Amino acid sequence: MPILTTEDTAERLARLQQIIEDLLKEARRQGASAAEASVGGSAGLEVAVRLGEVETVEHTRDNGLGITLYFGHRRGSASTSDLSPAAVRDAVSAARAIAEHTQDDPCAHLAPPELMATEILDLDLCHPWAIEVEQAIELAVSCEDAARTYDPRIVNSEGASLSTHLGIHVAGNTHGFIGGYPTTRHSLNCAVIGQDGELMQRDYWWTTARASSDLDAARAVGERAAERTVARLGARRLGTREAPVLFRAEVATGLLRSLVSAINGASLYRRSSFLLDHLGKSIFPEFVRIHEQPHLRRGLSSAPYDGDGVATRAKDLVRDGVLQTYVLDTYSGCRLGMPTTGNAGGVRNLTIEMGELDRTALLREMGTGLLVTELMGHGVNAVTGDYSRGASGFWVENGEIQYPVEEITIAGNLKQMFAGLVAVGNDCDFPGSTRTGSWLIDRMTIAGE
Amino acid sequence: MNDPIAIARDSILAPAGLDESALDRLLGHLTSAAVDAADIYFQYSRLQSWVLEDGILKDGNFSIEQGAGLRAVSGEKTGFAYSDELQLPALLEAATAARAIARGGREGQVRIGQAPTKQRLYEPLNPIGSLPDADKVALLQRVDAEARRADPRVREVVASLVAVQDTVLVLADDGTLAADVRPLVRLNVSVIAEQDGRREQGSSGGGARADLGYFLVEDRALTFAREAVRLALVNLDAVAAPAGTMTVVLGSGWPGVLLHEAVGHGLEGDFNRKGSSAFAGRLGQRVAAQGVTVVDDGTLPGRRGSLNLDDEGTPTQNTVLIEDGILRGYMQDKLNARLTGTTPTGNGRRESYAHLPMPRMTNTYMLAGERDPEEIIASVDKGLYAVNFGGGQVDITSGKFVFSASEAYLIEKGRITRPVKGATLIGNGPDVLTRVSLIGNDLRLDEGVGTCGKEGQSVPVGVGQPTLRIDGLTVGGTSQ
């Protein structure tokens, strides 16, 4: 069962647009003063192999619609996985029933009509992959095989998996806004297990892209997974100490995510952010620029409009180390007395401007300290910025990696960590919508034995 | 009507026009000579949620999800497809896709039997309708008022109420025809307290497989409000947590998340069949101190992690994982039990019809010991007393696990002294329980808020334990 083809998508887009129109019409009929709705469907194939044999073949097919009705400043929402005309009517009735009990909230309204996206930019996000199950299995097997044959210490595998999805999403509201477009996403992952004496280590790597031609080679993904696993073997603990910490690029994305969550409107109006009242203030050293590019062609988070139907736009979140904007949707903006920034649903394709230093130069710049390649747990307090997470990585002396380390924690406070950012590397080499090099932080507490 | 099978037929099969002969045909189509096992999981789920913020009931949502997941297993290979359309043609198409995993063979002949479930750990009720909507709103308003009344330093209050009715019907080629109607309710309160420019958060909540009256019993909802405020205020006074390896006393109840992360995941049957768990091949060996007995028990009445039957139709049970320090058992679903020659333990769970089942925990807890909790604290000269936790995570292969404290205190000379900021605790799963030196007599289960994630699938779970003293756990604070 191959997944949807391009011809099917045009027909399906029209059908979903019809559902939006039906939803909005039904909302008006049931007395709503305004309404917004979204509907989507996706189809996909996921295969997983392990030890050279196919383990699972999954055919996915998801549908869903959601509607929010406004009666003046009261609102109610409903959603369902059923797209039949009866379900459309029932969803509107269910949302209306909810709105009978919600209370007047002056910020409960649609975004101003003049902010609606008027043109649905083609961001080159849809590249269906006409791959058959057999081919998908072959690719996953070759990925895992590259990992398993990389080093004799790779003794076991969690397998490799390939997935391909095509989704179509349409949104509309009673301002007359309606938009929709298809997107695709393909990924290949591999995780293998290495052994050294009694102890085992596991690590993984992955590639993901809008177009299959943009994926890394299957064997390269496998080799990278194996290389990372082997590097962890023989990990030791560290004694408790303070030291500089280098967050490898792929884990530094978590620090950017913490920034975004702290300048997100919902955290701010709930006063649950450590960056309350920091707009226009310096939160990073001067060299730091962080920008959002929602219109990046083939970008993994690209979108022409946000969850409120508002046109998205590129912008700097941080320039010269200074916080330039919060990340707001219509509701949270209203709560803060500010206009929306077109970020309903989050930020899209965040990039921190890379520095000059490559991996080796970053280690030399750090001198003696901890290189972190994996973080564990949820120890980030968004309200205070207090940070304490499990870590593993490598101990570095005089710019040289000495040995792998594990079962330690790193702790500090995000505000001080941001201010203590010494350098951002030029070593962004992982897939994803957040682009960053490694981050060197001047000092954190490492807890160990 | 309170027979789960009758409810499932009425709410799932009848509207789609699926009768006995359609089900026989469907299961037969899914099964071929090369298929070792096949099953179909029908689900109809309704959820209603309410959010109160700034004293205003500002949001509510009602959602319906329905669909069927079809699985065909051949050896270690699984073919899976699902559909949110329940009409026979859509299901037959999904069956064709799923069975392609097993090549060749003719359609199987399957007659579905009926194995009525004996367990009745909760009533097959619909909690959404168990309280008028206006009363749900009033309940959240009382929670908000109680939190604000409790202390003038409370600035923000967010309270939410969720009620779910999940109806499932499982058909399998081994003759299983089983259904379960699963109510689930949850109430959460989160507050921000401010003092001298410092802000701290406190959260509390609870839930059960019950109707919404659960929150009205002894004003339970208001207890959660006061608890959230208490936590925020404790943290307003907290100093930096210590860093390093020290004696840690874990409180009873929710700190049982230690067991979930440190040993629970590592004892799930799939990881052990594949040899990817640090516990693989260690049955019969000592993995914990004497006196440590850990069970996974899906049969506790009304608990969030309990199920009358798992998502493969197997009745849940009380499975001993560790007995007096010795590793005794793994948690199994049908697939892993068959491949390892063991028996399913009622731990085959899935997030929804759109996900494959796998071995998952239910309610995981340690049995009580004999020590008075106060005596345990008094035994520590210098250490940490951790009472409340946020989430945790484990790397089952290396065995390393973490969990983050949200309420903790220093112990100095046998006495609880100052509150310290939340710190992450890190340890090694196969090793940590060997360091348990004292076990309290105060076994308690959590309040019913746990959600466990594995391979992208979330399921509700429970944890519990008595007060424990652990000699040597690494505390990730900033104060040396």
Task: Give all domains of chain B, ordered by start, each with its CATH number.
Answer: 4-237 (3.30.2290.10), 240-476 (no CATH)
Instruction: Please tell me the distance from the alpha carbon of residue B221 to that of residue A85, in angstroms, as a whole number.
Output: 39
Query: In angstroms, rounded to a whole number, what is the distance separating the alpha carbons of residues B425 and B383?
Result: 13
Name the residue of chain B whose CA is nearest to A412's CA: B478
Kindly report the CA angle at A252 between A164 and A433, in degrees rounded to 5? 30
Copy the structure tokens of residue B135. Answer: 């009363």
- For residues B463 and B364, the answer to whether their CB atoms sit within 8 Å is yes
**Nearest 5°: phi and psi at B236?**
-65, -25
Q: Position B143: which residue type?
A: V
B397/A202 Cβ within 8 A: yes
Residue in A95, A202, A384 nearest the CB of B395:
A202
DSSP 8-state symbol, A216: P
Cα distances (angstroms) measured from residue B99 to each of A46, A56, A137, B159, B177 = 15, 11, 16, 46, 20
- Rounded to a whole number, what is the distance in Å from the CA of B341 to chain A's nearest CA? 19
Of A46-50, A403-407, B67-71, B116-120, least confident by mean pLDDT is B116-120
pLDDT digits (tens, 9 = 90+) for A342-371: 999 999 999 999 999 999 999 999 999 999
Of A166, A164, A160, A165, the C-alpha closest to A218 is A160
Task: Mark yes or no for CB contact B424/A408 under 8 Å.
Answer: no
pTM (two decimals): 0.95
B59–A77 C-beta distance less than 8 A: yes
Facing residue for A378 by CB, picked from B83, B274, B390:
B390
Q: Of A375, A317, A319, A354, whose CA–CA distance to A437 is shortest?
A: A354
Out of A82, A388, A392, whose CB is closest to B424?
Answer: A388
Model confidence over B165-214: pLDDT tens digits? 999 999 999 888 999 999 999 999 999 999 999 999 999 999 999 999 99
Using CB atoms and an 8 Å cut-off, which of residues 191-210 of chain A contact chain B? Answer: 193, 199-202
Residues of B with Cβ-Cβ distance to A389 under 8 angstroms? 402, 424, 476
| Residue to substitute from B78, B236, B395, interface A, most A β-carbons within 10 A | B395
Show Cβ contacts of residue B460 under 8 Å, excluding neighbours closer than 6 positions.
Answer: B184, B304, B305, B450, B451, B452
B369 pLDDT exceeds 90?
Answer: yes
State the pLDDT at residue B116.
55
Report whether A101 contacts A73 (CB < 8 A): no
A217-275 per-position pLDDT tens digit: 999 999 999 999 999 999 999 999 999 999 999 999 999 999 999 999 999 999 999 99
pLDDT tier for residue B61 given thresholds of 50, 70 and 90: very high
What pLDDT score does A335 carry?
97
Residues A80, B61 contacting (CB under 8 angstroms): no
CA distance B404 to B389: 5
- For the stretch B8-25, pLDDT in tens is 999 999 999 999 899 999
| Percentage of residues in chain A having pLDDT higher than 70 | 98
Q: Give me the pLDDT at residue B119, please.
A: 86
With a CB cutoff of 8 Å and minimum separation 6, the contacts of B415 are B377, B378
Give chain B positions within 8 Å (CB) of A62.
84, 354
CB-nearest partner of B395 from A108, A376, A388: A376
Each residue of B213-265: pLDDT tens digit?
999 999 999 999 999 999 999 999 999 999 999 999 999 999 999 999 999 99
Name the residue of chain A whose CA is nearest to B62's CA. A78
Cα–Cα nearest to B114, from B157, B206, B178: B178
Q: Which residues contact B40 (CB under 8 A, 6 or more apart)?
A: B23, B26, B27, B30, B68, B69, B70, B71, B91, B170, B171, B172
A36: tokens are 């917004």
Q: How far apart are CA B340 and CA B319, in angstroms?
A: 17
Is pLDDT above 70 for B110?
no
From residue A16, give the alpha-carbon distance in Å to each of A61, A82, A172, B180: 15, 12, 11, 34
Residue A66's Cβ-side half-sphere holds a number of Cα atoms within 13 Å equal to: 13
* CB-CB contact of B212 with B194 (8 Å): no
pLDDT in tens, A121-168: 999 999 999 999 999 999 999 999 999 999 999 999 999 999 999 999
Would you call B243 and A102 a contact, using CB atoms and an 8 Å cutoff? no
What are A435's two structure tokens?
């682009």
Q: How far, in Å, CA of A230 to CA of B76, rounded? A: 27
Average of pLDDT values for B320-347? 96
Give B351's pLDDT tier (boundaries 50, 70, 90): very high
Q: Among candidates A187, A366, A445, which has minimal Cα distance to B476? A: A445
Q: How far is A193 from chain B (nearest CA, A)?
A: 7
A390 to chain B, minimum CA–CA distance in Å? 6
Instruction: Count Cβ atoms within 10 A of the Cβ of residue B36 and give its class: 0-12 exposed, 13-18 middle, 19 or more buried.
Output: middle
pLDDT at B109: 56
Q: Which two tokens stand for residue A315?
A: 């912008």
Interchain pair B398, A104: CB under 8 A: no
Which pLDDT score is estimated for A2?
A: 40
Q: What is the DSSP string of B290-345?
A: TT--EEEETTSTT-TT--SB-TTSPBP-EEEEEETTEE---B--HHHHHHHT----
Which residue of chain A has the CA closest to B421? A386
- Nearest chain A CA: its distance from B399 CA (Å): 9
Three-state DSSP class for B442?
Answer: coil
Window 281-320 of A: residues touching B by CB (8 A cutoff) are: none
Query: If contacts are CB pairs under 8 Å, which of residues 68-87 in chain A contact chain B?
Result: 75-82, 87
Phi, psi of B30 (to 5 degrees): -75, -25
DSSP for A380-413, please give it. Answer: B-TTT-EEEEEEEEEEEETTEEEEEEEEEEEEEE
Q: Which residue of A has its CA nearest to B64?
A: A80
Could you read off the pLDDT of B412-468 as tens digits, one per residue?
999 999 999 988 999 999 999 999 999 999 999 999 999 999 999 999 999 999 999
* Predicted local distance difference test score (pLDDT) of residue A3: 47
Q: Which residues 232-261 of A have a C-beta within 8 angstroms of B? A: 232, 235, 240, 242
B252-278 as b/e: b if 16+ CB within 10 A = bbbbbbbbbbbbbbbbbbbbbbbebbb
- Contact flag B391-A378 (C-beta cutoff 8 Å): yes
Contact assessment for residue A402 and residue A371, using Cβ atoms and an 8 Å cutoff: no
Within 22-41 of A, beta carbons closer than 8 Å to B belong to: none
Q: Which residues contact B441 (CB under 8 A, 6 or more apart)?
A: B368, B369, B370, B371, B372, B373, B466
Are the CB atoms for A411 and A387 separated by under 8 Å? yes
Question: How is chain A split into domains, by residue range?
Answer: 6-230, 235-448
The answer to whether A407 and B428 have CB atoms below 8 angstroms apart is yes
Q: Which residues of B touch A411 (CB under 8 A)?
A: 241, 243, 423-424, 476-478
Element (H, E) at B436: strand B436-439
Task: Check CB contact of A134 with chain B, cutoff 8 Å.
Answer: no
Contact criterion met (CB < 8 Å) for B80 and A56: yes
pLDDT at residue B108 in the model = 58
Please give the Cα distance from A438 to A247 (Å, whole number). 5
- Measured between CB atoms, which of A103, A377, A447 is closest to B475? A447
Nearest CA to CA, how far is B391 from chain A (Å)?
6
Residue B112 pLDDT level (bands cut at 50, 70, 90): low
* Chain A residue whose CA is closest to B278: A200
Mean pLDDT of B94-100: 92
Q: Which two tokens stand for residue B235?
A: 């943290």
C-alpha count within 13 angstroms, C-beta hemisphere, residue A406: 24
CATH numeric code, A6-230: 3.30.2290.10
A204, β-bridge pairs: A191
pLDDT recorded at residue A63: 92
CA B357 to the chain's CA centroid: 14
DSSP letters, B152-169, are TTEEEEEEEEEEEEEEEE
C-alpha dihedral, B257 to B253 to B321 to B303, nearest 10°: -100
Task: Provide, as residue numbers in chain B, all residues whose Cβ is less than 8 Å from the Cβ of A193.
Answer: 275-276, 397
CA B87 → CA A87, B22, B104, B157, B353, distances in Å?
A: 15, 10, 26, 45, 15
Instruction: Using CA coordinates, name the residue in chain A closest to B80.
Output: A58
Q: Is A90 on the interface with B (CB under 8 A)?
A: yes
A402 touches chain B (CB under 8 A): no
Mean pLDDT (chain B) is 94
The per-residue pLDDT for B26 is 94
Both structure tokens of B191? 């507050």
Task: Check: CB of residue A338 under 8 Å from CB of residue A358.
Answer: no
| CB distance A317 to A327 below 8 Å | yes
In chain A, how many H helices and how many E strands? 9, 17
Say which of A82, A388, A446 has its CB closest to residue B84.
Answer: A82
The DSSP result for A96-138, as a single string, is HHHHTTS---TT-SPPPGGGB--S-------------HHHHHH
**Distance (Å) from the alpha carbon of B83 to chain A's nearest alpha carbon:** 6
Question: How far from B382 is each of B23, B243, B248, B249, B466, CA to CA, in Å?
Answer: 64, 13, 9, 11, 21
Q: What is the pLDDT of residue B107?
A: 59
Contact of A308 with A36, CB cutoff 8 Å: yes
Q: What's the ipTM?
A: 0.93
Measure Cα distances from A313 to A168, B182, B207 in Å. 22, 45, 42
Contact state of A77 with B61 under an 8 Å Cβ cutoff: yes
Query: How far is B75 from chain A, CA to nearest CA, in Å?
Result: 9
**A69 — phi, psi (to 5°)?**
-105, 145
Select the residue of A61, A412, A448 nearest B83 (Cβ to Cβ). A61
The pLDDT assigned to A1 comes to 38
d(CA A323, CA A336): 16
Say if residue A410 is exposed, middle or buried (CB neighbours under 10 Å; 0-12, 13-18, 19+).
Answer: buried
Alpha carbons A437 and A246: distance in angstroms, whole number: 10
- Identify the burial level of B183 via C-beta atoms within 10 angstroms of its C-beta, where 0-12 means exposed, 13-18 middle and 19 or more buried: buried
Answer whether A26's CB lies under 8 Å from B64's CB: no
CB–CB contact A376 B402 (8 Å): yes
Q: Is A322 on the interface with B (CB under 8 A)?
A: no
CA nearest to A147, candidates A47, A56, A219: A219
pLDDT reported for residue A146: 98
